[in-house]
Structure 1
Amino acid sequence: MRYSPLLTDLYELTMLAGYLDEGMAEKQAVFDLFFRTNPFEGGYAVFAGLEPALEFLEGLRFSEEELAYLAGLGLFSPRFIDFLRGFRFRGRVTAPPEGTLVFANEPILTVEGTLAEAQLVETALLTIISFQTLVATKAARICHVSGGAEVIEFGLRRAQGPDGGLSASRAACVGGAGSTSNVLAGMAFGLPVRGTHAHSWIQAFPDELTAFRAYAKVFPDATILLVDTYDTLGSGMPNAIIVARELRERGHELRGIRIDSGDLAYLSREARRMLDEAGFPDALIVASNELDEYVIESIRNEGGRIDVYGVGTKLATCSGAGGVSLGGVYKLVRVDGQPKLKVTSDMAKATLPGKKRLLRATGPDGAFIQDVICLAEDDLQPGETVYDPTNPLQHKILPEGAQLSDLRQVVMEEGHRTVAVEPLGAMTARCRRELALLPQGCQRFINPHRYKVSVSPRLNELRCRLIGEVCKKGA
């Protein structure tokens, strides 16, 4: 999919025009992309969206039609329009693989290049990375409480437009969803596609049993019947069992039933009992209807017997506490070889200056201990004091024996990708592995354990020095 370079805020272009006019466009710059609070008031986020972001950067070109539009705005000089005609992204990008767990205040993606090229891509990178990371995180939370049941992404019809629906399907699978109802996403990303029929199918026939029989005739080996159009237990389930017996007589088996309304815990228990007693213990029970992690947790706590959850609106739109947006930011941290930081009256919003590495400290069993942000030239060792990124007065000792490894790698150099495209299944597996390595309590929905993210002594010293210099200038 081509994302136009006009997928940007106007101020990116006006700044770019200003840099060109001031002779600053070719200065070397470093920007970090990060977020300040974990989404959904949770304990982690799942990094996603890197592949489409790299695809955008690699194919960044202004068409003549786009240039004509910009020229027609009356804002930009002919020199600037000509500059855009030859514009390419030729920078470096550093990031973790998709499916990696990341946390607030960490530089999850770093862009290095000229000030012009690194500035222009801000908005597009934020919208691609932030949304897909948010959806992947929501999916991981949902899959965590599903108890091993399959989760299908059902959100296309409620998503924020066609592109939002496509991006949500991809990101949901990074976070753990096993399939999608979105056929275009199935083709684009190689995802398994799943679906049954709607209530309108039942209503289009003279009666429910006739509708079930017709569907089973067309799809004898993929029959999942929606049983709640009229009366789930009074008519839907009995009619589904009649059709299941007829399928078996013809050498086929009922794949399952779907419930889309009512008390899903109670109805699924009763449906399971009826199917088992009728001799169909392998028939699946699929549930849908405004599901999210909290509803699924409640269903399971009440003894629900659901094999597959179809999660739509609240996954694709990321609704829920702390949802709606990731709050990603993209900040200049170095220009022309000099570290830069933003300082405000709110210390939590002060940025971390300079080109940096992101390290993960793990124990002998691979379990996560904490993450540390350090300067690119740092040689951090266990036993050193590390500092809270939002409050330099808080610090702790990095445990002796901890293993430190870089969480990120260079994924684009001189505008070209340096890593192979990963299958989505590999990203899903990475997410699942890393979730199992989190400290206890990080996956809790209410008051989750706060995973520790720190900064190295040298980065802390640099930040404090620059803050002091800025304060003197403002005095």
Structure 2
Amino acid sequence: MKGRELALLTDLYELTMMQGYFATGAYKKKVVFDLYYRKNPSGNGYAIAAGLEQAIAYIKGLQFTKEDINYLISLDIFTEEFINYLKDFRFSGDIYAIPEGTVVFPHEPLLRVTAPIMEAQLIETALLNIINHQSLIATKASRVVWAAQGDPVMEFGLRRAQGPDAGTLGARAAVIGGCCGTSNVLTGKLFDVPVKGTHAHSWVMSFHDEITAFREYARLFPENCLLLVDTYNTLASGVPNAIKVFQEMKAAGKLTGKYGIRLDSGDLAYLSKCAKIMLEEAGFGDAIISASSDLDENLIASLKSQGAKINLWGVGTKLITSDDCPAFGGVYKLAAEEGDDGVFIPKIKLSNNPGKVTNPGIKKVFRIYDKKTRKIKADIIALTDETIDESQCLKICDTSAKWRNMHLAAGTYVVKELLVPIFIDGELVYESPKTMEIQEFCNSEKNSLWDEHLRLNNPHIVPVDLSEKLAHLKNQLIDEMSSK
């Protein structure tokens, strides 16, 4: 996002609403918007927050260029006065956010924006675009990595991604979610993450025979010699020829780095078991057996359950596109607006769908950990003036089912606030960690979940409840709005 002109990366109605606020004189009124999502993707028990670094870059660079202004004039929709306002537009508000790599749950504000209404309105579309995409891919990657049970997973979906941005930033998100590296060289350059790869079938086909192709590749890349063995016949020629090359490398004292084979087609469980036997019998039991071929978390989990001898997974299309769940579903909703006296008035949106009723007011998120295990017990969405005293007993009530509640004894739990300041009065006050640092943090975050929360199917759901004060406010506003 850095250095890109993205002021027009918005829906038209954001600009028309802005002109409406400008015309009515309401444009200086401050409001609070929450960015959150309603449902975990892919049936998961959690999501991974990602994309904040790019959201920051967008906000920092947000201004209308001369070309932008000329284009808006050409639409013949906007008044001269409004156009003149846009010429000097800059974001001047506050943004609080949950840091990248954090485990998050539905309805928790991932970002909280406090700004004049025109500024808060304009940034809605771009923030959703950025946060939705990377959070989706980071979550998908986390599922794939969990299925691999400790084996490294490499992302290599660039050629199947929906465009350069999706491929490049999706690879970044996949690394945050736990992938050991990516095939995307641009992602490696921009975000200082490991780049990895082997060779294609075309490499083998470009030589007069398979063994020559393997020998040349081994000569060029002896420290990272992974040979693709399924171009012609995996077990009859591919694996035997790879073994022959490994023997030659060993005899020459050049088998000193990573080496092994890659399977890209066929019955991966059967082929990997046969290849493992062949490699072990030849004295190469430590060789890597990597696999690709339209893998996702479910296929990897199935292969693991079948005893497949694969220990490096290359995952492309179904990861970079989040094949089974193509959208994250984040929304951006008004939570409060400034009154004439400067005091913020909580706002609520009602709906025939109970899941779409918003949580009003200016909020924070408390995460409650078990003090002994450091595992998450629950999250509480509360109003910003609320606190939790760890030296006191804590009762957590399920606001949707009053008979379900949790009692935590004093001294047995630890509390952490998740939202941290990013922009204050338009000034950046936060420094984004490097991508690999975010990955390390994300790994620690996933360790705070119980195994039951991590399973791929029908995971146990972490309780996310409203504080008693917020629940009371919400019910009060529902009653007031319903009576109008």
Aligned residue in 2 for 1:345: 352
User: Could you tell me whether the CA contact under 8 Å between 2:395 and 2:408 is conserved in 1?
Assistant: no
Q: Secondary structure at the match of 1:299?
A: helix
User: Could you tell me whether the CA contact under 8 Å between 1:51 and 1:421 is conserved in 2?
Assistant: yes
What's the offset of the Cα at 1:94? 0.9
Aligned residue in 1 for 2:261: 257
Aligned residue in 1 for 2:280: 276
Q: Secondary structure at the match of 1:270?
A: helix
191-200 or 214-223, which deviates more? 214-223
394-403 or 22-31, which deviates more? 394-403
Structure 1 runs not aligned, ≥5 long: none
User: Could you tell me whether the CA contact under 8 Å between 2:5 and 2:65 is conserved in 1?
Assistant: no
184-193 or 443-452, which deviates more? 443-452
Per-residue CA distance 1:296-324 (angstroms, 9 max, x = gap):
1111111111121011011100012xx11
Name the aligned partner's letter for residue 364 of structure 1.
K
Aligned residue in 1 for 2:384: 376
User: Could you tell me whether the CA contact under 8 Å between 2:193 and 2:436 is conserved in 1?
Assistant: no
Aligned residue in 1 for 2:323: 319
User: Could you tell me whether the CA contact under 8 Å between 1:385 and 1:395 is conserved in 2?
Assistant: no
What's the offset of the Cα at 1:139? 0.7
After TM superposition, the score normalised by the length of structure 2 is: 0.94
262-271 or 291-300, which deviates more? 262-271
Identity score, percent? 45
Name the aligned partner's letter for residue 351 of structure 2.
T
Aligned residue in 1 for 2:448: 437
Distance in 2 (alpha carbons) for counterparts of 1:56 and 1:388: 37
Name the aligned partner's letter for residue 227 of structure 2.
L
In structure 2, which of residues 383, 386, 405 is the aligned counterpart of residue 396 of structure 1?
Answer: 405
Aligned residue in 2 for 1:67: 69
Per-residue CA distance 1:318-344 (angstroms, 9 max, x = gap):
012xx1111100001011111111001
Per-residue CA distance 1:200-224 (angstroms, 9 max, x = gap):
1111221211211222222222221
Aligned residue in 2 for 1:303: 307
What's the offset of the Cα at 1:440? 4.0
What's the offset of the Cα at 1:386? 4.3
Aligned residue in 1 for 2:361: 354
Tell me, yes or no, if structure 1 residue 7 matches structure 2 residue 15.
no
What's the offset of the Cα at 1:388? 4.1
Name the aligned partner's letter for residue 478 of structure 2.
I
Aligned residue in 2 for 1:19: 21
After TM superposition, the score normalised by the length of structure 1 is: 0.96
Per-residue CA distance 1:263-301 (angstroms, 9 max, x = gap):
111111221221222122332111101111111111111
Aligned residue in 1 for 2:147: 145
Tell me, yes or no, if structure 1 residue 207 matches structure 2 residue 209.
yes
Distance in 2 (alpha carbons) for counterparts of 1:80 and 1:393: 50
Distance in 1 (alpha carbons) for counterparts of 2:251 and 2:451: 51
Matches within 5 A, 1:412-451: 412-451=423-462
What's the offset of the Cα at 1:383? 4.4
Aligned residue in 1 for 2:341: none
Distance 1:352 1:387, change over 3 A: farther
Q: Secondary structure at the match of 2:483?
A: helix
Per-residue CA distance 1:396-452 (angstroms, 9 max, x = gap):
245233322211211222223212220212211222112222134111222111110
Aligned residue in 2 for 1:218: 220
What's the offset of the Cα at 1:387? 4.6
Per-residue CA distance 1:128-156 (angstroms, 9 max, x = gap):
10110111111111111212111101110
Tell me, yes or no, if structure 1 residue 48 matches structure 2 residue 50.
yes
Name the aligned partner's letter for residue 104 of structure 2.
V
What's the offset of the Cα at 1:245? 1.7
In structure 1, which of residues 155, 179, 193 is the aligned counterpart of residue 157 of structure 2?
Answer: 155
In structure 1, which of residues 185, 209, 215 is the aligned counterpart of residue 187 of structure 2?
Answer: 185
User: Could you tell me whether the CA contact under 8 Å between 1:265 and 1:299 is conserved in 2?
Assistant: yes
Name the aligned partner's letter for residue 293 of structure 1.
E
Distance 1:283 1:397, change over 3 A: closer
Distance in 2 (alpha carbons) for counterparts of 1:316 and 1:125: 20
User: Could you tell me whether the CA contact under 8 Å between 1:166 and 1:182 is conserved in 2?
Assistant: yes
Tell me, yes or no, if structure 1 residue 109 matches structure 2 residue 111.
yes
Distance 1:39 1:415, change over 3 A: same
Name the aligned partner's letter for residue 383 of structure 2.
L
Distance in 2 (alpha carbons) for counterparts of 1:81 and 1:120: 14
Q: Secondary structure at the match of 2:63?
A: coil
**What is the CA RMSD across the aligned residues, in angstroms?**
1.5
In structure 1, which of residues 60, 79, 94 is the aligned counterpart of residue 81 of structure 2?
Answer: 79
The alignment of Structure 1 onto Structure 2 pairs a total of residues equal to 470
373-382 or 22-31, which deviates more? 373-382
User: Could you tell me whether the CA contact under 8 Å between 1:369 and 1:439 is conserved in 2?
Assistant: no
Distance 1:466 1:151, change over 3 A: same
Structure 2 runs not aligned, ≥5 long: 339-343
Tell me, yes or no, if structure 1 residue 293 matches structure 2 residue 297.
yes
Q: Secondary structure at the match of 1:43?
A: coil
Aligned residue in 2 for 1:333: 335
Distance in 2 (alpha carbons) for counterparts of 1:397 and 1:219: 58
Q: Secondary structure at the match of 2:27?
A: coil
